[in-house]
Amino acid sequence: MERRDLYQQVARLHVDNINQGFLATLGIGFVSLMYQAIDEAHDSVLLVEERDGGVAGFVSGGCGMGAIYKQMLRSPFRLGLALMPSLLRPRRVLRIFEILRYSRGHTLPEGLPTAELLSIAVAPSCRGQQVADRLYRRLEDHFQNAGVTSFRIIVGGTLGSAHRFYQRMGAVSTATVEVHEAELSVVYVQQLLQAKSRNR
């Protein structure tokens, strides 16, 4: 699959299935550019499971958004076009600044891992087939190979199925954080000990 087509499919999967988050409202163009940056930037990764020529699911992770944003700025024309509709809406601009503030760690409790699971989604037709489990374990392997011993996950407080998934995978709730005003999210931490036993 061509990389541009893969980013478009991943973006569509994000917008359709992580639609309670703010990023989905920025549109396919912005989200596609973001996942291209995640794939290309230093210290971040995009892992995809393909099936029948399409994206069955994906997971992304990284050690900070700074390098990802810098990578996006290397395509200023595409970024400007993608953001133009949002820049005309003051409330949306405010939420963009809230995300930037969070990405710099200003709203996070001290002592949390730098590494983070950024997003994970599975196509509806592929659910119930352990696609999410495999992607999660692949991200664990990626972080372990990079010498990471733990990573964090920020989960919206109302996303019950996501909380159950991360708890089942072994992540532990450690704190709450307010990424957007009056919207609490739960911070999970997944330990990655080399000797950790897994049920695969």
List residues bridging with 119 in a β-sheet: 60
At 153, is the secondary structure helix, strand, or coil?
strand
Please answer whether residues 10 and 58 qualify as being in contact, where contact means their C-beta atoms are separated by less than 8 angstroms: yes
Half-sphere exposure of 151 (CA within 13 A, CB side): 27
Number of domains in the chain: 1
pLDDT of residue 197 exceeding 90, the answer is no
Model confidence pLDDT, tens digit, residues 118-175: 999 999 999 999 999 999 999 999 999 999 999 999 998 888 999 999 999 999 999 9
- 11-40 pLDDT, tens digit each: 999 999 987 767 777 889 889 999 999 999
Residue 151 lies in a domain: yes
The pLDDT of residue 86:
64
pLDDT on residue 119: 95
pLDDT on residue 66 = 80
- SS3 (DSSP) at 134: helix
* Residue 200 belongs to some domain of the structure: no
Q: Is 55 among the domain residues?
A: yes
**42 belongs to a structural domain:** yes
Asked whether residue 197 is domain-assigned, the answer is no
Per-residue pLDDT reduced to its tens digit, 64-107: 878 888 888 888 888 878 777 666 665 665 555 555 555 555 56
Residue 198 belongs to a domain: no
90 assigned to some structural domain = yes
CATH number at residue 80: 3.40.630.30
Task: List the domain range (segments joined by +) for residue 7.
Answer: 3-191
Give the per-residue pLDDT at 196.
Answer: 47
